[in-house]
């Protein structure tokens, strides 16, 4: 596997030099964050990003993410324009040597939490999701304060989107995802780019909006929409693991064995109730997920794609983007690398 780290570009408080000092670190996962959804990514900006990372002794191992415009998700008449822009972006990324591109198909809201500074027993702070609190929020009338949600829509836009999505159900969303993939996957094949859909986070509906990438059955349906190795998965342990019915090692062995996992997010959570969880340190002993067994499953299927420590706690007084501090994710990376080294030596 290629041990990688999420970096948010030049505005990130964390530098590439600091990331490079993490033992075993090989790659960077990032995006062009200042380009609106639906616009084509210019080759020049992609090239500059690649060069900046490489001059710091690292490699751009995955793009996370190229956002999918809401008109595509809703199947509106304008979607073809945005799909053409997406195709151009994939071509530009492929020509710069980018191998993995992540995206998601979550309506309106990306990964969502209810609190960003929940105090754990060790006095660190972590992101949590409490279903009862989210259910009381009104995305139209209330002032949303959702940690983890990138506020890309103004209040009036949210109201319009929520109204338009009222007619959307899971099957219609599946139809629109299929239309998107049938247009995009052939371009990804031509450019040798591997698409990796991120599971819905959390893996259940929120605010009455459908979410469809939630379990093993939906992952199987996804890869059958367009049967190509370039139509693949980003397996996020924290997203899928929030549902205790999801057997992560089994999912990894099934889809990794088919060569359809292109990206791995490693995060541990503690399930605290029905549709409730806390993010924890990466160690198996710290949460509900057996990280050793999850890594063993990746190792057993010969996974050789990018793997990154996902959200971490805020520790040692660090401030910044919740879930994306340097210290705990660096500890997580070292933990993951140590387990992987042990698995390699045990072969």
Q: Give 184-241 pLDDT, tens digit per residue.
A: 999 999 999 999 999 999 999 999 999 999 999 999 999 999 999 999 999 999 999 9
Whether residue 298 lies in the annotated active site: no
Q: Exactly one of 236, 276, 282, 328 is catalytic; which is it?
A: 236
Mean pLDDT (the chain) is 94
270 has pLDDT over 90: yes
Query: Percentage of the chain with pLDDT > 90?
Result: 88
If we measure between CA atoms, which residue out of 116, 26, 64 comes closest to residue 234? 64
Q: Exactly one of 298, 324, 328, 335 is catalytic; which is it?
A: 324
Whether residue 276 lies in the annotated active site: no
207: β partners: none
Q: Exactly one of 198, 230, 262, 299 is catalytic; which is it?
A: 198
Residue range 160-183: mean pLDDT, rounded: 95
pLDDT-derived band at 148, boundaries 50, 70, 90: low
What's the confidence (pLDDT) of residue 142? Answer: 57
What's the confidence (pLDDT) of residue 150? Answer: 52
Instruction: HSE, CB side, 13 Å, CA atoms: give it for residue 32.
Output: 21
Residue range 232-251: mean pLDDT, rounded: 98
What's the confidence (pLDDT) of residue 181? Answer: 98
Q: Which two tokens stand for residue 174?
A: 């599946």
If we measure between CA atoms, which residue out of 85, 107, 94, 77 comes closest to residue 41? 85
pLDDT tens for 41-68 read: 999 999 999 999 999 999 999 999 999 9
What's the confidence (pLDDT) of residue 146? Answer: 62
What's the confidence (pLDDT) of residue 152? Answer: 56
What's the confidence (pLDDT) of residue 149? Answer: 54
Question: What is the fold of 2-345?
Answer: TIM Barrel (3.20.20)
Q: Which two tokens stand for residue 2?
A: 């290629």
Which residues 6+ apart lie within 8 Å of 31 measured at CB? 9, 63, 64, 65, 66
Q: Is 47 left (phi over 0), alpha (psi -120 to 50) or beta?
A: alpha
- CB burial of residue 199 (10 Å; 0-12, 13-18, 19+): buried
Whether residue 103 lies in the annotated active site: no
> What is the enclosing helix (H) or strand (E) of 190?
helix 170-191
Instruction: Please answer whether residues 194 and 188 qualify as being in contact, where contact means their C-beta atoms are separated by less than 8 angstroms.
Output: yes
> What is the enclosing helix (H) or strand (E) of 81?
helix 79-95
Q: Exactly one of 265, 276, 299, 335 is catalytic; which is it?
A: 265
Q: Exactly one of 165, 310, 328, 335 is catalytic; which is it?
A: 310
| Helical axes 170-191 vs 216-225, angle rounded to 10° | 50
Q: Which two tokens stand for residue 36?
A: 């609106």
Instruction: Please answer whether residues 311 and 238 qualify as being in contact, where contact means their C-beta atoms are separated by less than 8 angstroms.
Output: yes
Q: Listing from the earlier edge strand, what are the strands of the sheet with 125-130?
A: 115-119, 125-130, 276-280, 268-273
Whether residue 236 lies in the annotated active site: yes
Whether residue 82 lies in the annotated active site: no
340 has pLDDT over 80: yes
Whether residue 299 lies in the annotated active site: no
Beta strands 125-130 and 115-119, pairing class: antiparallel
If we measure between CA atoms, which residue out of 89, 99, 1, 8 comes closest to residue 49? 8
Instruction: Please answer whether residues 63 and 86 qualify as being in contact, where contact means their C-beta atoms are separated by less than 8 angstroms.
Output: no
């Amino acid at each position: 596997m290629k041990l990688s780290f999420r970096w948010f570009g030049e505005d990130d408080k964390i530098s590439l030099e600091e990331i490079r000092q993490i033992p075993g670190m090989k790659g960077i996962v990032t995006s062009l964050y200042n380009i609106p959804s639906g616009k084509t990514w210019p080759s020049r900006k992609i090239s500059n990003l690649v060069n900046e990372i490489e001059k710091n002794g690292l490699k751009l191992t995955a793009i996370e993410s190229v956002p999918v415009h809401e008109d595509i998700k809703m199947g509106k008449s304008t979607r073809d324009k945005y799909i053409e822009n997406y195709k151009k972006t994939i071509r530009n990324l492929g020509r710069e040597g980018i191998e993995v591109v992540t995206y998601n198909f979550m309506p309106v809201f990306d990964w969502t939490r209810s609190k960003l500074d929940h105090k754990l027993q060790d006095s660190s702070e972590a992101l949590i999701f409490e279903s009862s609190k989210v259910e009381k929020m009104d995305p139209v009338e209330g002032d949303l304060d959702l940690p983890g949600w990138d506020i890309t829509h103004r209040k009036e836009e949210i109201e319009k989107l929520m109204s338009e999505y009222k007619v959307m159900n899971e099957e219609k969303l599946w139809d629109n995802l299929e239309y998107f993939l049938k247009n995009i996957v052939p371009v990804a094949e031509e450019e040798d780019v591997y698409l990796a859909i991120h599971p819905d986070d959390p893996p259940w509906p929120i605010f009455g909006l459908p979410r469809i990438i939630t379990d093993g059955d939906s992952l199987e349906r996804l890869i059958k929409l367009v049967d190509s190795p370039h139509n693949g998965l980003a397996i996020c342990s924290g997203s899928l693991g929030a549902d205790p019915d999801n057997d992560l090692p089994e999912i990894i062995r099934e889809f990794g064995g088919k060569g359809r996992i292109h990206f791995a997010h490693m995060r541990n959570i503690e399930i605290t109730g029905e549709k409730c969880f806390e993010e924890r340190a990466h160690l198996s002993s710290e949460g509900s997920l057996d990280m050793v067994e999850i890594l063993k499953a990746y190792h057993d299927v010969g996974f050789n794609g990018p793997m990154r420590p996902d959200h971490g706690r805020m520790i040692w007084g660090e401030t910044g983007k919740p879930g994306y501090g340097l210290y705990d994710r660096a500890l997580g990376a070292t933990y993951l690398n140590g387990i992987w080294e042990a698995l390699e030596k045990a072969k």
